[in-house]
Structure 1
Amino acid sequence: MELTFYIAAAVAVLSTVMVITRYNMIHALLYLVVSFLAVAVVFFTLGAPFMAALEVIIYAGAIVVLIIFVIMMLNMRQEDVQREKAWLQPSTWVGPAVLSAVLLAELVYIVVAADVATGGAVVAVDARLVGLALFGPYIIGVQLSGLLLTAGIVGAYHLGRQKKKVIHRFLQERSAAA
């Protein structure tokens, strides 16, 4: 079971890196699905089959479909892809990479410390307790996450729509001048 955890974790990290480094959004989306599935395996090996099922249903299912709709709504062109390539300079990703390395070190420490403290025993998490926690003391966090996702989608739509308005206005002024 421990080997399965490490293999799934390695797949999750590798596929997440591929999500970040792909220029084609659909390719990145496919790697994102692989990453979500690998994280679901990690949850399962840690004794949380309910969280693994939620990971597959909510993230690998619903969120990915939502991202596909946003991609279709924005309709990115080649100049947008070139601009995104310019954003991937090392000065842009060094900070997040260092912070991710710190978080990875913390995760490794927590896993090692928990393994030593419990003697390697895995305790299953009850689905009822997860639901009570999410819709009990953490209800504000759940609601704020939903609002944040909604605001991101509305913002992406607004930004994509504004560019189309400017191009349309430019073409109208150009045809009126001719």
Structure 2
Amino acid sequence: MPAPALFVASVTIVGAIMVITRRVIVHAVLYLVVTLLALAAVLVMLGASFAAMLEIIIYAGAIMVLFVFVIMMLNLGQPDSAREKEWLRPRAWCGPGILATIVCAELLYCIRSFHSPAISPAPITAHDVGSSLFGRYVLMVELVSFLLLAGLVAAFRIGRNRSGGR
């Protein structure tokens, strides 16, 4: 296995461990974003650049926004002023910042120097993915959207009950 692949794999593992071990949920979400970016770098190394871009757009982008929205809505833990002071400390951003810088540098290195082998005779395009998702699997896509909506409503209900109905 080439050295860059081992490097990205180690960043992925370190990021995943940091997600599990963080006590502050926002820090865990930051490490989860780094882990998802590192997984995208692994996909680029495997020659699946389209899947890597989907990973970044859907998981590291949209799903993380949903997570942050639910965390903000639940408003658990310390009072707002104490929590904001904790977030402004460089120590809170140091670990995710270092890992994210490493992953971004690795992605740039892979994009510049990596030539993906021809795995299949015809590469999969965005049109193929779209027609597959909204053709044969349209019911599954709609069920996932209802599942996300149900999770959001449940999180709102739990947060409203814990805050005393404010």
Give the TM-score band, short-chain normalised. Answer: 0.5 to 0.7
Structure 2 alignment gaps of length 5 or more: 79-116
User: CA 1:33 to 1:133, structure 2 compared with 1: closer, same or farther past 3 Å?
Assistant: same
Structure 1 alignment gaps of length 5 or more: 79-119, 169-178
The separation in 2 between residues aligned to 1:37 and 1:44, in whole angstroms, is 11
User: Which position in structure 2 is the counterpart of 1:155?
Assistant: 154
The separation in 2 between residues aligned to 1:57 and 1:17, in whole angstroms, is 23
User: Which position in structure 2 is the counterpart of 1:96?
Assistant: none
2:64 is equivalent to residue 56 of structure 1: no
Q: Is the 8 A contact 1:46 1:122 kept in 2?
A: no
Q: Which has the larger radius of gyration?
A: 1
Q: Secondary structure at the match of 2:163?
A: helix
Alpha-carbon distance, 1:158 to partner:
0.5
Q: Deviations over 1:15-63 (max 9, x none)?
A: 1221122110111011011011011112212222122112112221222
- How much is the aligned-residue C-alpha RMSD, in angstroms? 2.4
The structure carrying a bigger helix percent of its residues is: 1
User: Which position in structure 2 is the counterpart of 1:142?
Assistant: 141
User: Which position in structure 1 is the counterpart of 2:94?
Assistant: none
TM-score scaled by length of structure 2: 0.65
TM-score scaled by length of structure 1: 0.61
User: CA 1:165 to 1:72, structure 2 compared with 1: closer, same or farther past 3 Å?
Assistant: same
**2:24 is aligned with what amino acid?**
N
Q: Is the 8 A contact 1:47 1:125 kept in 2?
A: no
Q: Secondary structure at the match of 1:165?
A: coil
The separation in 2 between residues aligned to 1:134 and 1:46, in whole angstroms, is 23
The count of aligned residue pairs is: 126
% identical equivalent positions: 48
Q: Is the 8 A contact 1:48 1:125 kept in 2?
A: no
